[in-house]
Amino acid sequence: MKIQQYLLVLLEVLFPYMLNADITEDIHFSHIGLEEGLSHSTIFAINQDKGGNLWFATYDGVNKYDGYNFTVYRHQYTHPNSIASDISRCITMDDSDRIWIGTREGLSLYNHYKDEFSNYYYKRNGLNVAVTSIIPIKKDWLMLGTAEGILLFDVKKECFLSDTLSSSLHGLQPAALVRQDDCIYIGTEEGVYIYTLSNGILEKLVDMPAGIRVHAILCQMFNRIWLATEGDGLYLYDMKTKELKNYRYEDGKSGLNSNYVRSLALDTENRLWVGTYGGLNIYKEGSDCFSSIKSSEIQEGSLSQNSVRSIFRDSQGGMWLGTYWGGLNYYHPLCNRFQRIKHVPFLNSLSNNVVSCIVEDNKHNLWIGTSDGGLNYYDNASQLYKNYLFNSGNLDVPFKDIKTVYVDEVQDRIYVGAHAGGMMVLHRKSGYIEYYNRHNSNLPSNNIYSIISDGYGGFGWHRWNIYCILI
């Protein structure tokens, strides 16, 4: 009875991963962190300029990445044209390709030609107000989200404006500010609002549960609005039907791995990517649920850290994930055309990472020789490995440094040559093994580097520069 209860619990844990394996098994990330030059491992925002450079807002400066090297911009007290603060929260490119950065101390504009910044500060009660979001609304005009409300910034006059906005719009304290065509969506603790630029009308789009903060908004397919909340999961609002649907971690059906949702983005297949405190989620349209991708110490290519703070799709279709204390994660669909096979401790995997030869049999299974892990058989149907780490018959040297493999389909035998181990013949059906070396056969050497058939039932092998035939 206890065994049955244990199996039921195990199935409950594993079933969501089995259900979502079709998506998650094909997504592997490469990691970029401090060792590669990133200034800090917490990334709040990501964007890309017209030159293809990626910009990362971190807790210790803004990073510009050209695909090879990082340039880090930090605040310098003795340099007035350094960035306004080391802590930056958002990065936006306007219609004139200018790069605007919202920091804890104010607004910074990057000058590409001088490689420096112009800084603009909005003070309240003698303190600089942090800029948390930036939206270009028309040429030379920006809408800014701050803790003191929504502001406008006149680029030409280089000044902040608050009295030109209605008191109801200025009074909102946005956690999310997103533009979609003529509309600006504003996420607050009081609900989600929509501001129409053409007529200046502010309306409440949808009421949210009291005290729920909307951290991110994404518009998908005209009438679908995704709302990421702090502690209340993910919401989908249908503009046409006015229906508000909630996806939560604890319902067990949605597949969402946390109710604390911080970032949203669409990939090249129009799939929704959701970053939470518990990892990455990808929405599966057909089943109306999410697959979950988490950090793993034993799985290569998993997330570097579970808390995903920002997600961005670059101009080449690559997906960038900024994490909290885990650096950057990068994924591109083309990368998965190649599958990396390697040794993973305690898992069914390749026995050794130094591969010396690979041979495919007529059933498309692989025979893989390694330099220190013997012979590996990869079953293409089950996708499992079997390791053959042989003794070398009457030799003291273990038969593990494999140099060549030959598959004899007619006799159903595997011929294996090794360094210092001679030759081994594996009878596939019975599993019987024969060893040949210079002590028990007419092999001229125990170093066998290639084996071929002579076409008449005999075999030849190559050891160093001597070629011999055995009949």
Selected residue with higher pLDDT from 27 and 38: 38
Shared domain for 304 and 367, answered yes or no, is no
List the strands of the sheet with 413-418, edge to edge: 402-408, 413-418, 422-427, 433-436
| Inside any domain, residue 244 | yes
| Inside any domain, residue 247 | yes
Mean pLDDT of 140-150: 96
Percent of the chain with pLDDT over 70: 89
CATH number at residue 166: 2.130.10.10
Q: Which among 69-78, 157-166, 201-210, 341-350 has the top mean pLDDT?
A: 69-78
Selected residue with higher pLDDT from 70 and 8: 70
Shared domain for 227 and 99, answered yes or no, is yes
Contact 448, 404 (CB under 8 A): yes
Least Cα distance to 217 among 248, 247, 245, 192 occurs for 192
Is the model's pLDDT at 399 over the cut of 50?
A: yes
pLDDT digits (tens, 9 = 90+) for 234-248: 999 999 999 999 999
Q: Mean pLDDT over all residues of the chain?
A: 89
In this prediction, residue 252 carries a pLDDT of 82
Shared domain for 417 and 278, answered yes or no, is no
| Inside any domain, residue 406 | yes
Mean pLDDT of 170-182: 95
State the residue for tokens 């005290």: 211
Shared domain for 141 and 212, answered yes or no, is yes
Is the model's pLDDT at 11 over the cut of 80?
A: no
Mean pLDDT of 362-376: 94
Mean pLDDT of 290-318: 95
| Inside any domain, residue 22 | no
In this prediction, residue 25 carries a pLDDT of 55
| Inside any domain, residue 65 | yes
Shared domain for 433 and 295, answered yes or no, is no
Q: What is the DSSP string of 125-175?
A: TTEEPPEEEEEEEETTEEEEEETTEEEEEETTTTEEE-TTS-HHHHT---S
Domain termination residue (choose one: 279, 303, 335): 335
Selected residue with higher pLDDT from 272 and 420: 272
Q: What is the DSSP string of 431-442?
A: --EEEE-TTTSS
Task: Give the least confident one: 158-172, 297-311, 445-459.
Answer: 445-459
Mean pLDDT of 63-67: 97
Domain termination residue (choose one: 286, 301, 335): 335
Mean pLDDT of 190-200: 94
Shared domain for 179 and 261, answered yes or no, is yes
In this prediction, residue 470 carries a pLDDT of 42
Mean pLDDT of 75-95: 97
Selected residue with higher pLDDT from 181 and 463: 181
Shared domain for 271 and 369, answered yes or no, is no
Shared domain for 201 and 244, answered yes or no, is yes
| Inside any domain, residue 5 | no
pTM, full prediction: 0.74
Banded model confidence at residue 337, pLDDT cuts 50, 70, 90: low
In this prediction, residue 460 carries a pLDDT of 59
Give the three-state DSSP class for 9.
helix
Least Cα distance to 439 among 403, 396, 401, 398 occurs for 396
In this prediction, residue 298 carries a pLDDT of 83
Is the model's pLDDT at 51 over the cut of 70?
A: yes
Shared domain for 317 and 374, answered yes or no, is no
Domain termination residue (choose one: 335, 368, 391): 335
| Inside any domain, residue 316 | yes
For the chain, the domain total comes to: 2
Residue type at position 163? D
Shared domain for 330 and 362, answered yes or no, is no
Name residues whose C-beta falls within 8 Å of residue 196's C-beta, 6 or more positions apart in sequence. Answer: 182, 183, 184, 203
| Inside any domain, residue 11 | no
Shared domain for 63 and 200, answered yes or no, is yes
Structural domain boundaries enclosing 396: 355-469
In this prediction, residue 9 carries a pLDDT of 41
Shared domain for 305 and 360, answered yes or no, is no
